A and B are shown apart, each in its own frame.
Chain A
Amino acid sequence: MNEVSDIALTETGLAPTGRERAGSILLIACGALAREILALKAMNGWAHLDLKCLPANLHLTPQKIPEAVRAAVRKGRADGYADVYVVYADCGTGGLLDNVCAEEGVSRVAGPHCYSFFDGNETFAARDDEEMRAFYLTDFLVKQFDAFVIKPMGLDRYPQLRDMIFGNYEALIYLAQTNDPALDRAAQAAAARLGLSYERRFTGYGDLAAALSKAAALA
């Protein structure tokens, strides 16, 4: 995994190892979650979980996520995996990903987006409108801030758009999965670039750990 770059996870995703498919569960995940999933897999000894990541930049066109997931589920089944589990939240698909999961007979990690399940879905929901003006980043998004925020929003070319796009936000909250001072500094710099106040909140893997434990039990 070390040799896979964040850029590759953003743009091309990650292929499964394909070893011992018959007794294995294929996880179909967003590239933005690859490192966290592999860390949990290693920590828990879930050797029977294989991971396929779709490119994280699908989030820039979320309407494409449901059909991309459907195709990956079908391929996983055709390749002979014992079962398939989807590691995507709703991710801005407005319920369409749930429709695909129901049609294909697979489950997914609960929650509206990864910020919520990293924070803990119940905790996040309980905040209600309290953090309405917060812009969230995760470890991956801090590392890929340019690819997911600066470039698609055109701030590299048109910095004058910053306040038009981020003017209603007040704070950048970095939901940290790991304790990494370099990421903390990068997140702080991101907040300054967007003109927002900064808060770091350590979440660890949140509800993702329990969701993968459920997936591991599918075999």
Chain B
Amino acid sequence: MSDEDQDVILSELDDDELVLQMHDDLYDGMKDEIEESVNILLERGWTPYDILTKALVEGMRIVGIDFRDGILFVPEVLLAAGAMKGGMFILKPLLIETGAPRLGRMVIGTVKGDIHDIGKNLVAMMMEGAGFEVTDLGINNAVEKYIDALEREQADILGMSALLTTTMPYMKVVIDTLVEKGLRDEVIVLVGGAPLNEEFGKAIGADAYCRDAAVAVETAKALVARKHNQVSA
């Protein structure tokens, strides 16, 4: 994003400039600079929540748009995510201490037989950034593992990911088991992964298919709000 070669002294930038610089540094996957900037803003009295939302999440939102539009590709998004992770690592304990707003709880994992987790990791990170508590079950998850975690965490959302045509049908096994156990209405089911599409999401009974991490966050926010409205109505 930034083509300037001269060294920027991060501590000499005012707050607005520094936040914009952080968007650039996230875009360029510069983890060390992001960590330094997070610490600078903390020293200046910024709340962890503001740093997270205004600098990191907003920066990743820009990355997400350029990924969707074919300007950035998977490697660049991975580097950006790595940089954001560095910032999140500093902020996470502080967010817990300062009681940042929580939107809901999500259990997420790649389905049985599938080891691909790049997209799932991005979604988990962006959901955390958006204010959801995320329990990440990792890869190769059998239905029992999903159900145990949903019950244990009292989760609002289940996220399932698959990269393979051969593993994506397992999502239906999980959803059918939720129905059998009378748990389906308790949880919002979001699915994603390269070979999936909206038609597949509908056919297996998911609440939504999410094309990318940004869509997952927006969909989760909208469906959680709708669920809360239904409960309070």
| Chain B minimum-CB-distance residue to A95 | B200
With A93-B195, A152-B74 known as contacts, the answer to whether A113 contacts B165 (CB < 8 A) is yes
A195 CB within 8 Å of chain B = no
Partner of A161 from B78, B140, B165, B196 at Cβ < 8 Å: B78
Q: CB distance A161 to B164 under 8 Å? A: no
Q: Give the chain B neighbours of A91 by CB distance below 8 A.
A: 165
Q: CB distance A92 to B194 under 8 Å? A: yes
Partner of A90 from B74, B165, B197 at Cβ < 8 Å: B165
B36 CB within 8 Å of chain A = no
Cα–Cα distance between A98 and B194 once the two chains are bound (Å): 16
A132 CB within 8 Å of chain B = yes
B79 CB within 8 Å of chain A = yes
CB distance from A96 to the nearest CB of B (A): 6
Q: Give the chain B neighbours of A164 by CB distance below 8 A.
A: 78, 82, 118
Cα–Cα distance between A132 and B139 once the two chains are bound (Å): 11
> What is the number of residues of chain B that contact chain A, defined by CB distance less than 8 Å?
26
> Could you tell me the dominant secondary structure of chain A's interface residues?
loop
| Chain A minimum-CB-distance residue to B121 | A164
Q: CB distance A168 to B117 under 8 Å? A: yes
With A90-B165, A94-B196, A95-B200 known as contacts, the answer to whether A128 contacts B74 (CB < 8 A) is no
| Chain B minimum-CB-distance residue to A153 | B75
Cα–Cα distance between A93 and B75 once the two chains are bound (Å): 22
Cα–Cα distance between A28 and B166 once the two chains are bound (Å): 23
Q: CB distance A132 to B78 under 8 Å? A: no
| Chain B minimum-CB-distance residue to A93 | B195
With A112-B166, A154-B73 known as contacts, the answer to whether A129 contacts B112 (CB < 8 A) is yes
CB distance from A43 to the nearest CB of B (A): 30
Q: CB distance A132 to B75 under 8 Å? A: no
| Chain A minimum-CB-distance residue to B195 | A94
Q: Give the chain A neighbours of B196 by CB distance below 8 A.
A: 94
A133 CB within 8 Å of chain B = yes
A23 CB within 8 Å of chain B = no
Cα–Cα distance between A93 and B168 once the two chains are bound (Å): 11
**Residues 91-111 of B contacting A (Cβ, < 8 Å):** none
Q: Give the chain A neighbours of B165 by CB distance below 8 A.
A: 90-95, 112-113
**Residues 198-226 of B contacting A (Cβ, < 8 Å):** 199-200
CB distance from B120 to the nearest CB of A (A): 11
Q: Give the chain A neighbours of B113 by CB distance below 8 A.
A: 128-129, 132
Q: CB distance A112 to B115 under 8 Å? A: no
B172 CB within 8 Å of chain A = no
With A92-B194, A95-B200 known as contacts, the answer to whether A112 contacts B75 (CB < 8 A) is no
B116 CB within 8 Å of chain A = yes
Q: Give the chain A neighbours of B58 by CB distance below 8 A.
A: none
Q: CB distance B118 to A94 under 8 Å? A: no
CB distance from A50 to the nearest CB of B (A): 28
A62 CB within 8 Å of chain B = yes
Cα–Cα distance between A165 and B166 once the two chains are bound (Å): 20
Q: Give the chain B neighbours of A19 by CB distance below 8 A.
A: none
| Chain A minimum-CB-distance residue to B110 | A168
Q: CB distance A92 to B195 under 8 Å? A: yes
CB distance from A160 to the nearest CB of B (A): 9
CB distance from A169 to the nearest CB of B (A): 7
Q: CB distance B140 to A129 under 8 Å? A: yes
Q: CB distance A94 to B78 under 8 Å? A: no
| Chain A minimum-CB-distance residue to B139 | A168
Partner of B74 from A112, A116, A125, A153 at Cβ < 8 Å: A153
12 A-B pairs with CB atoms under 8 Å apart are: A90-B195, A92-B194, A94-B168, A94-B200, A96-B197, A129-B112, A132-B113, A133-B115, A157-B75, A158-B78, A161-B78, A164-B118
Apart from A90-B165, A96-B199, A153-B75, what 9 extra A-B contacts exist at CB < 8 Å?
A92-B165, A94-B168, A95-B199, A112-B164, A112-B166, A129-B113, A154-B73, A155-B75, A165-B78
Pairs of residues from A and B, 9 with the lowest C-beta to C-beta distance, nearest first: A154-B75, A94-B195, A168-B115, A112-B165, A90-B165, A92-B195, A129-B113, A112-B166, A158-B75
